A and B are shown apart, each in its own frame.
Chain A
């Protein structure tokens, strides 16, 4: 009997400790080609959580990060999200790098009225999902906005007039095809061609040859690290060197190693760079990262920076929403997001970032164009 009582006491004790924390869930790729991206999101969230906990937590409770690996697979992402929502009872769920995974999670969170925050995946329909009550927020780039920025950059920097699209064959590529076509149409232009490739394709030369034959004078590239590297290597084999304006896929891993010497030819969009003059928030976050992670010795080691920066700001804005709500109840936190006023963040100073119509806090004015130089993501032209 006394063992039973002791076990009961232990269980009650454990429950009490549990109740003291607010669990923050993260479903992202922690293995495979996007593992680095998942680690970057983890670090951004962890530094923000440490900062919030050091200030006493939220609603009198400490925050606790609970992660699950989605292996960049929608089915595994859905299982992980369900586990975090229903078993771990997380208050808020954060997503990862892959648009297909986030798109698979969106209907669940909207149905369950649980908050889902995207710190990376840029697919337009993630936040513009058509739900009457939308519980999905994002602090990251958005495809349709990035696509306008890609066109603008190609014209301004390379004087491009006839760009071709080379897109990974998945929902993310599709989302960008729509966005880039719309951006071109808005300026009365058409693409030189639209070509798709599989993430596991060894040789993209046939697709690129079609674009070259169609007279493409620049390439719009959309793909994660491995696939983007395959495009660059295929271009090398062809001996064709068009300007490459890319979405931010190459930022998620060892792009220089995979793509080889032509890696710097890819100019890709980012929302933040730890290089150059930093704001006080930037200095504070970099210092915290260096203190927490021994492998970070300077800005070059915060890679991919976009994952860290987006996740940090996303966590801070979510904390403000919970504070505004005075609760972790989904519908109340959703209203809390709309009540956020001015917040001095890492990427920018946010002024009422979310409204019932706008669930994306970052726009084209916040983008930075970067390239890989010796394994580091630097603003374009910063170092030759």
Chain B
């Protein structure tokens, strides 16, 4: 029972980490930059969905879709305001600028949404079924399914569509892609929109299990970055699987050894894994052609 329960918890949490980490992957692959405040994008997804569904009384599905659209819009803003002005000049200040924009978003939510955490009730979270003798809520099953489905969609998009192939071309050689008529800035913008969309989806799904407040994404964002590095930030499936591994490791350590060891051991294992495999579990070493 102990292990089964930990596996279910770990899969749901791991999918969340994986989804956020996919956001790191998608922008890094196209532009070698990331939005370090992915946690804030996740929080925005939950806050937008809560505001539309609870405050304005919209049905959940339209509220979630509009929230995701708003998250994508936020991604475009991140790219335009906190990334492009710096990469254009060859500066690495986008590192700090994305963090700063995240802090601005967190505080803007604190002032507008309110100081108190809010409960986002969902029938998905309260309904449950029995699996191997333990109670599992529908949401705990839905989260890994949606997470893996989004990862698969990203994979199919990049392999099967013209736009996806254009993005892959940018990944391989931005200059050559530009010469072939591919709009590189647009590809990067789309990558940022997708990145925050994934984070927003994670926020909307986690909200009924958690509570909605302005700093709900901080710890998630940090863990997701560890997951992205662990998976090898250049592999989409790699970061998703690393997310699942991290989530499962966390809950198995808690269940088998006790919560006192969770953070120490899970992050220590990340360090060990990276020491043994410096490019991450599924990443490939960058080859510099001269």
- Same complex for A and B? Answer yes
B51 on the interface (CB 8 Å rule)? Answer: no
Check B126–A236 contact: CB distance below 8 A: yes
Specify which chain A residues have a CB less than 8 angstroms from the CB of B263 in the assembled complex: 198
* Interface status of B117 (Cβ within 8 A of chain A): yes
* Shortest CB distance B114–A (Å): 9
Instruction: Please give, as numbers and ranges, the residues of chain A lying within 8 Å of B134 by CB-CB distance.
Output: 238
Pairwise interchain contact B135-A35, C-beta atoms closer than 8 A: no
Q: Is A206 within 8 A of B255, CB to CB?
A: yes
A18-67 CB contacts (< 8 Å) to partner B? 30-33, 35-36
**Which of B1, B119, B251 is within 8 Å of A229, CB to CB?**
B119
Q: Does B274 contact A (CB under 8 A)?
A: no
Contact: A258 with B117, CB < 8 Å?
yes
- Residues of chain A within 8 A of B216, CB atoms compared: 200
CA distance A30 to B114 in the complex (A): 11
Question: Complex formed: what's the CA distance from A33 to B118 in Å?
Answer: 9
Q: Mark B1-41, 1 if CB is under 8 A from A, else 0.
A: 11001101100110010000000000000000000000000
Query: How large, as a class, is the contact surface on chain A?
Result: 35 or more
Tell me which residues across on chain B come within 8 A of A261, comparing CB atoms.
Answer: 126
A195 to B260, CA, bound (A): 8
* CB of B80 within 8 Å of the partner chain: no
Give the complex CA separation of A257 and B119 in angstroms.
5
Contact between chains at B116 and A203 (CB < 8 Å): no
Instruction: Chain B residues near A209: list those with CB within 8 A.
Output: 1-2, 5-6, 255
In this complex, which of B6, B206, B216, B259 has the most chain A Cβ atoms within 10 angstroms of its Cβ? B259
Tell me the bound Cα distance from A225 to B6 in angstroms. Answer: 25
| Segment at the interface with A among B66-74, B185-193, B207-215 | B207-215
Once bound together, how far apart are the Cα atoms of A229 and B120, in whole Å? 12
Decide if A207 is an interface residue (CB 8 Å cutoff). Answer: yes
Instruction: Point out the residues of chain B lying under 8 angstroms from A169, CB to CB.
Output: 259
Residues of A within 8 A of B6 (CB): 205-206, 209
A237 at the interface (CB under 8 A from B): yes
A284-299 vs B, CB cutoff 8 Å, 1 = contact: the mask equals 0000000000000000
CB-based contact B260/A196 at 8 Å: yes
Residues of B within 8 A of A307 (CB): none
In the complex, B219 has a CB within 8 A of chain A: yes
Instruction: Check A213 for interface membership: any CB of B closer than 8 A.
Output: yes
Q: Which residues of B contact A195 (CB under 8 A)?
A: 258-259
List of A residues within 8 angstroms of B1 by Cβ: 209, 213
Q: Is B137 an interface residue (CB 8 A)?
A: yes
Q: Does residue B279 face the partner (Cβ distance < 8 Å to A)?
A: no
Q: How far is the CB of A196 from chain B (nearest CB, A)?
A: 5
Q: Is the CB of B259 within 8 A of A205?
A: no
Q: Please indicate the chain B residues that have their CB under 8 angstroms from the CB of A254 in the complex.
A: 116-119
The B83-138 residues at the A interface (CB cut-off 8 A) are: 110, 115-119, 121, 125-126, 128, 134-137
* Smallest CB gap from B207: residue in A: A202
Q: In whole angstroms, what is the CA distance A261 to B125 when docked? A: 12
B219 to chain A, nearest CB (A): 5
Please state if A237 and B258 are interface contacts (CB–CB under 8 Å). no
Q: How far is the CA of A207 from the CA of B257 in the complex (A)?
A: 10
Select which of A203, A230, A233 is within 8 A of B251 by beta carbon.
A203
Q: Does B158 contact A (CB under 8 A)?
A: no
CA distance A206 to B2 in the complex (A): 7
A31: chain B residues within 8 A (beta carbon): 110, 115
CB distance from B163 to the nearest CB of A (A): 34
Is there a chain B Cβ closer than 8 Å to A220's Cβ?
no
Is B140 an interface position by the 8 A CB rule?
yes
Contacts of B16 in A (CB 8 A): 202
Nearest-neighbor residue (CB-CB) of B206 within chain A: A202
With A229-B119, A237-B128, A254-B116 as contacts: A202 and B259 at CB distance below 8 Å: no
Partner of B116, one of A33, A197, A202: A33
Checking A35, A210, A226 against B211 with a beta-carbon cut-off of 8 angstroms, the contacting residue is A226
Q: Which A residues are closer than 8 A to B by beta carbons?
A: 30-33, 35-36, 169, 195-198, 200, 202-203, 205-207, 209-210, 213, 225-226, 229-230, 233, 236-239, 253-254, 257-261
In addition to A202-B13, A203-B12, A229-B119, 5 A-B residue pairs with Cβ atoms within 8 Å of each other are: A33-B116, A196-B260, A198-B219, A206-B6, A210-B254
A-B contact pairs, 19 of them (CB 8 A): A32-B116, A203-B9, A203-B12, A203-B209, A206-B255, A210-B2, A225-B117, A229-B119, A229-B211, A230-B211, A236-B126, A237-B125, A237-B136, A238-B5, A239-B128, A239-B135, A257-B119, A260-B121, A260-B126
Closest 7 CB pairs of A and B: A239-B135, A206-B254, A257-B119, A206-B255, A31-B115, A35-B115, A258-B119
Task: Report B's interface with A, CB cutoff 8 A.
Answer: 1-2, 5-6, 8-9, 12-13, 16, 110, 115-119, 121, 125-126, 128, 134-137, 140, 206, 209-211, 213, 215-216, 218-219, 251, 254-255, 258-260, 263
